[in-house]
Amino acid sequence: MAGHFRYSVWDPFLIIAQMITMQCIFYSCLGLCIFLVNVISGDNHSLDQIYLYQEIHVKDIHGRCIIGSFLINSLFCSVGLWYFVQKTKQCLDFSATVHLFHLIVCWIYNSSFPNSVSWWLLNIVCVSITCVCGEFLCMRTEMKAIPLTLGPKADL
């Protein structure tokens, strides 16, 4: 592989493990955010808040808090991308895959395809935030200086 800095091997077990890890981060952080919102606001606790399309709206404070939880969760997922995926090129793939699996789970949970514009807009924004922030974090790590000597630094 001439011209490449890193040699990468296609490892399906690593990719599957990263997908499972990112999905776990997505649902655990989203559940934690929604739980904290429910504790503060005194609302009921239900899986509908994560999976039901009708819960995502801007009509009242509860719907806005759910939207805020999804947006904050995007930041947590971008940190997960930085820590577990560690490659700028794969951030879009993993963030889109996480939300694709979320779409499938929501579709099964609701027994219908999502027809809510607010649900689609929120998930597009969340994919974008997760991808851009994850790429930013991964790029900062990838761009760090690589030490060329193992000896002590000499200030010239």
DSSP assignments along 69-84, one per residue: HHHHHHHHHHHHIIII
- Cα separation, 147 vs 132, whole angstroms: 28
21-34 pLDDT, tens per residue?
999 999 999 999 99
Q: What are phi and psi of 75, to 5 degrees?
A: -70, -40
Residues 6+ apart with CB under 8 A from 141: 82, 86
Q: Are 82 and 137 in contact (CB under 8 A)?
A: yes
Higher pLDDT, 13 or 4: 13
pLDDT in the model for residue 60 = 86
pLDDT in the model for residue 1 = 44
Higher pLDDT, 57 or 121: 121
Higher pLDDT, 131 or 47: 131
pLDDT in the model for residue 75 = 95
For the record, the structure tokens of 4 come out as 């490449």
Q: Which residues of 42-57 are buried (b: 16+ CB within 10 A; e: fewer)?
A: eeeeeeebbebbebbb
pLDDT in the model for residue 8 = 65
- Cα separation, 117 vs 121, whole angstroms: 6
108-151 pLDDT, tens per residue?
999 999 888 999 999 999 999 999 999 999 898 888 767 666 66
Higher pLDDT, 2 or 67: 67
Percent of the chain with pLDDT over 90: 53
pTM, 2 dp: 0.83
Residue 154 binned pLDDT confidence (cut-offs 50, 70, 90): low
pLDDT in the model for residue 152 = 66
| pLDDT, the chain, mean | 87
